[in-house]
Amino acid sequence: MAGNRLERSVKITLLGLGVNILLAAGKLTAGLFGHSYALVADAVESVSDIFTSMVVWRGIVVAEEPADAEHPYGHGKAEPIAASIVSSILLLAATGIVFTAIHAILTPRTSTPAKFTLFILLVVVVVKELLFRVVSNEAGNLDNTAIKADAWHHRSDALSSLAAVAGIAVTLYGGKFWQWADAAAAMVAAGIIGLNGLNMLKNSLNELMDAAPQPEVVNAIRKEALAVQGVHDVEKCIVRKSGHRYWVELHLEVPSQLTVKVGHEIAHAVKDRIRLQHPAVHDVLVHIEPASDH
């Protein structure tokens, strides 16, 4: 199962890497020859995509390595670490685009974007949106934080390209007064990229800090524990996520008169049931407590 997940994760990441290399080269060439600030800015963002796809690739490979003496809980945190790096790069790229666009607005330009740059950007928008949908769907199936971040990187590229389309169109057909629109569109794109970067960084940092998963995940685990005969109540249920796996700590109340042996058997039954019903749960630590006698 783990090998299949790793293989699928690597394939979808390398697909994005290959597309990013082709798009970055095409946009940069078209932007330079077509005199479009927005297209060059878009190409810069695609170059960052190449690096981030490599980071994601390494992250998912490391995350699937088995536990060892130095990492007894495994290497799953490599996925949110990779996602954090991707998010940070998005924020840096957005900042760089803003400064480049401001300089472009303040600097008189002697040329306007070529019309063919519009066609290039429209192709980019379609390709990137399709890539986002494919990668996002696979990220959901694999429950991979790093690939989710990479998918949104593709979506941000599609949105920034769409903003560039609007900017170039206004620049071309709005007259001399609107020549600044090309650079302004690059700033809008930077804003979109920055917001996506902040959102992804927040999610990945939450996972690194062992934030609780969605309530429905915790409630489902509680329900399975309570279904085991002998469990009176779940006093505490702590769940944390590492990569695509969950680690669970349960404090269960059982009848106070039970022997240690029976309590141990109940604990094992709870662990086995939870792992059977929820394969994403890697391990369950059960603490037995005596229930209040009434």
pLDDT of residue 93: 76
- Work out the percent of the chain whose per-residue pLDDT is above 70: 91
Mean pLDDT of 262-283: 91
The per-residue pLDDT for 134 is 87
Output the pLDDT for position 185. 73
Same domain, 274 and 178: no
- 161 and 263 in a single domain? The answer is no
- What pLDDT sits at residue 109? 59
Residues 6 and 125 in one domain: yes
Quote the CA–CA distance of 165 and 125 in Å, as a whole number: 9
pLDDT reading at 50 higher than 60: yes
The secondary structure of residue 288, as a DSSP letter, is E
Domain count across the chain: 2
Clarify whether residues 157 and 240 are in a common domain: no
Answer for the pair 22, 28: CB distance below 8 angstroms, yes or no. no
Select from 173, 208, 243 the last residue of a domain: 208
Work out the pLDDT band at 265, boundaries 50, 70, 90: very high
- Cα–Cα nearest to 38, from 153, 185, 158: 185
Does the pLDDT at position 41 exceed 90? no
Query: What CATH number corresponds to the domain at position 270?
Result: 3.30.70.1350
Angstrom distance (rounded) from CA 143 to CA 155: 18
* Range with top average pLDDT, 57-71, 82-96, 160-174, 241-255: 241-255
Are residues 195 and 219 located together in one domain of the fold? no
Q: Say whether both 222 and 204 belong to one domain.
A: no
Note the pLDDT of residue 227.
93
pLDDT of residue 176: 63
pTM for this structure? 0.67
Domain of 35, in residue numbers:
2-208
* Residue partners of 219: CB distance under 8 A and separation at least 6: none
Contact 11, 134 (CB under 8 A): no
pLDDT at residue 182, rounded to an integer: 65
CATH number of the domain within which 48 lies: 1.20.1510.10
The yes-or-no verdict on residue 199 having pLDDT over 80 is: yes
The residue among 149, 162, 161 whose CA lies nearest residue 199 is 149
Structure-block tokens of residue 231: 């469990």
8 Å CB contact between 266 and 254 = yes
Mean pLDDT across the chain: 81
Do 113 and 223 fall within a single domain?
Answer: no
pLDDT of residue 179: 64
- 181 shares a domain with 276: no
**Residue 44 token pair:** 């810069």
Separation CA 26–CA 121 (nearest Å): 10
On whether both 220 and 128 belong to a single domain, the answer is: no
3-state secondary structure of 132: helix
Same domain, 12 and 50: yes
Q: Per-residue pLDDT for 3 more than 60? A: no
pLDDT given for residue 228 in this prediction: 93
pLDDT in tens, 229-264: 999 999 999 998 887 788 899 999 999 888 999 999
Token pair for 157: 């590229």
pLDDT digits (tens, 9 = 90+) for 209-230: 888 888 888 999 999 999 999 9
Q: Which domain-ending residue is among 208, 231, 254?
A: 208
Does the pLDDT value for residue 204 go beyond 80?
yes
- Structure tokens belonging to residue 39: 């297209």
Q: If you count them, how many residues does the chain have?
A: 294
Do 122 and 162 fall into the same domain?
yes
- Both 163 and 219 in a single domain? no
Cα separation, 137 vs 108, in Å, equals 44
Among 208, 236, 255, identify where a domain stops.
208
Asked if pLDDT for residue 175 goes beyond 70, the answer is no
CB 285 within 8 A of CB 250: yes
